[in-house]
Amino acid sequence: MKTYRVIYEIDVEADTPEEAAREAYECMRDPEAMPPRLDVVAWSGDCPPDFTSDLPNVQSFDLSVDR
């Protein structure tokens, strides 16, 4: 089985970084929220993706679009 890094990005308005993290977490758990767009990067062997460089193998999935 392969290992993947799944990246969930969301913009939220908040007064503090902790409040922003809590708001994002609530959005992730809300069953009524619109499904997110996720970026997926496969690990290379035993090494996680290097996020300090361009990621040529990123695959994006918009889960709000019916397939």
Give 1-28 pLDDT, tens digit per residue: 888 888 888 888 999 989 999 998 898 8
Q: Domain residue spans in the chain?
A: 4-62
Is 0.75 surpassed by the pTM of this model? no
Q: Strands (DSSP E) along the chain, which ranges?
A: 4-8, 37-42, 59-62
Distances (CA, A) of 59 to 11, 34, 36: 20, 20, 14
Give 30-64 pLDDT, tens digit per residue: 989 877 778 888 877 776 666 655 666 677 777 66
